[in-house]
Protein backbone atom coordinates (compact mmCIF):
# COMPACT_ATOMS: atom_id res chain seq x y z
CA UNK A 1 0.00 0.00 0.00
CA UNK A 2 1.26 3.48 -0.84
CA UNK A 3 2.35 5.79 1.94
CA UNK A 4 -0.40 7.40 3.90
CA UNK A 5 0.08 11.21 3.75
CA UNK A 6 -1.42 11.48 7.24
CA UNK A 7 1.69 9.77 8.55
CA UNK A 8 4.02 12.23 6.89
CA UNK A 9 5.98 14.97 8.55
CA UNK A 10 4.02 17.87 6.94
CA UNK A 11 0.78 16.48 8.31
CA UNK A 12 2.25 16.01 11.77
CA UNK A 13 3.54 19.57 11.70
CA UNK A 14 0.12 20.82 10.71
CA UNK A 15 -1.41 18.92 13.62
CA UNK A 16 1.13 20.38 16.05
CA UNK A 17 0.57 23.88 14.70
CA UNK A 18 -3.19 23.61 15.13
CA UNK A 19 -3.02 21.91 18.50
CA UNK A 20 -0.75 24.66 19.87
CA UNK A 21 -3.47 27.24 19.28
CA UNK A 22 -5.79 25.61 21.80
CA UNK A 23 -8.82 26.53 19.75
CA UNK A 24 -12.33 25.43 20.68
CA UNK A 25 -14.11 22.87 18.54
CA UNK A 26 -15.25 24.44 15.27
CA UNK A 27 -18.36 22.26 15.27
CA UNK A 28 -19.84 22.73 18.71
CA UNK A 29 -17.83 25.70 20.00
CA UNK A 30 -16.85 23.99 23.24
CA UNK A 31 -13.36 23.64 24.59
CA UNK A 32 -11.33 20.68 23.49
CA UNK A 33 -9.57 18.45 25.99
CA UNK A 34 -6.08 18.94 24.67
CA UNK A 35 -4.63 16.92 27.51
CA UNK A 36 -6.96 13.99 27.04
CA UNK A 37 -6.04 10.63 25.67
CA UNK A 38 -6.34 10.55 21.89
CA UNK A 39 -9.09 7.93 22.13
CA UNK A 40 -11.27 10.16 24.29
CA UNK A 41 -14.37 11.52 22.49
CA UNK A 42 -13.55 15.07 23.59
CA UNK A 43 -9.89 14.96 22.61
CA UNK A 44 -8.35 17.01 19.81
CA UNK A 45 -8.50 15.95 16.20
CA UNK A 46 -7.52 17.80 13.07
CA UNK A 47 -10.57 18.24 10.89
CA UNK A 48 -10.81 19.72 7.43
CA UNK A 49 -13.31 22.40 6.53
CA UNK A 50 -13.56 21.07 3.01
CA UNK A 51 -13.46 17.27 3.29
CA UNK A 52 -10.69 15.52 1.44
CA UNK A 53 -13.37 13.52 -0.33
CA UNK A 54 -14.63 16.81 -1.78
CA UNK A 55 -11.28 18.05 -2.95
CA UNK A 56 -10.11 19.75 0.25
CA UNK A 57 -6.41 20.02 0.88
CA UNK A 58 -4.91 17.73 3.51
CA UNK A 59 -2.04 20.04 4.33
CA UNK A 60 -3.47 23.52 3.81
CA UNK A 61 -3.61 25.46 7.08
CA UNK A 62 -6.57 27.42 5.73
CA UNK A 63 -8.51 24.17 5.51
CA UNK A 64 -7.51 22.85 8.92
CA UNK A 65 -9.88 23.06 11.86
CA UNK A 66 -9.70 21.86 15.45
CA UNK A 67 -12.50 19.50 16.39
CA UNK A 68 -13.47 17.04 19.08
CA UNK A 69 -12.99 13.46 18.06
CA UNK A 70 -16.67 13.01 18.75
CA UNK A 71 -17.71 15.90 16.50
CA UNK A 72 -15.31 15.00 13.75
CA UNK A 73 -16.52 11.42 13.54
CA UNK A 74 -20.20 12.36 13.68
CA UNK A 75 -19.80 14.96 10.99
CA UNK A 76 -20.03 12.75 7.95
CA UNK A 77 -19.74 14.72 4.75
CA UNK A 78 -21.39 17.91 5.89
CA UNK A 79 -19.42 21.05 5.13
CA UNK A 80 -21.02 23.47 7.57
CA UNK A 81 -21.33 23.17 11.34
CA UNK A 82 -24.65 22.00 12.67
CA UNK A 83 -25.61 24.58 15.25
CA UNK A 84 -27.99 23.78 18.09
CA UNK A 85 -31.49 25.21 17.64
CA UNK A 86 -31.29 27.08 20.92
CA UNK A 87 -27.75 28.38 20.51
CA UNK A 88 -26.59 30.38 23.48
CA UNK A 89 -24.46 33.42 22.89
CA UNK A 90 -23.35 33.65 26.47
CA UNK A 91 -20.02 31.94 25.99
Residues forming contacts to Zn ion in the complex (CB under 5 A) are 25, 27-28, 68, 71
Q: Please enumerate in sequence order all residues whose Cβ is within 8 A of that of 13, keeping only pairs 6 or more positions apart, or say none.
A: none
Taking the complex as a whole, the smallest distance from the CB of residue 25 to Zn ion amounts, in Å, to 3
Residue among 5 and 41 whose Cβ is closer to Zn ion: 41
Quote the CA–CA distance of 59 and 54 in Å, as a whole number.
14
Taking the complex as a whole, the smallest distance from the CB of residue 10 to Zn ion amounts, in Å, to 25
Residue among 9 and 90 whose Cβ is closer to Zn ion: 90
Residue among 64 and 71 whose Cβ is closer to Zn ion: 71
Amino acid sequence: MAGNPRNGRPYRRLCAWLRAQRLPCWWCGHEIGYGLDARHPLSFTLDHQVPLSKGGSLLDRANARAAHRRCNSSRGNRTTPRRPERASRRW
